[in-house]
Structure 1
Amino acid sequence: MDPQDRSLRARLAAHTSWANTPDPASRTAKARAAAFDRFERRAREMHPDATEDQIAVAAAHLKKAHYTAMALASARARRAKAKSA
């Protein structure tokens, strides 16, 4: 199967799966919780004496920093690709 057909077939399967999911948030809840736990653990390592509220704030900022770093890397990659095209 060529790559385009494989991609379309996978996209069709994903859309069908999500269409059959009555509550998408519950389907992804465990994964989202696990991802946030990683930021919370890091916040606790950085601030072992912090209160729960302080840990929550630090974890939220670590999460935002992570996604901002990903956005920056993506923007740089797009610029590099555009220059080489």
Structure 2
Amino acid sequence: MMMEHIWGWGGMWFGWLLMLGFAVAVVVLMVWLIRLSAPTGRLNTGGSESDPQLQSALEILQARYARGEISKEEYLDVRATLLLP
């Protein structure tokens, strides 16, 4: 009796499923690693204006100045305060 034929032809489907599952796992791992290492789309220069909350505060300040709600002196004073480290 030969031991290489113990599974017969019925056991071959399992090998194909195992290879397919391994290939899918490798692709998923590669996509995950690429997404993990990719930049988020925002350029972070390390400056104080890179904070989203600060950026929002500066945008509000600029909008108020543009609408004439605050004077130039107030605008410059508040902007300097917001940009302090």
TM-score by length of 1: 0.36
Higher helix share: 1
Q: Determine which structure has more spread, i.e. the larger CA radius of gyration.
A: 2
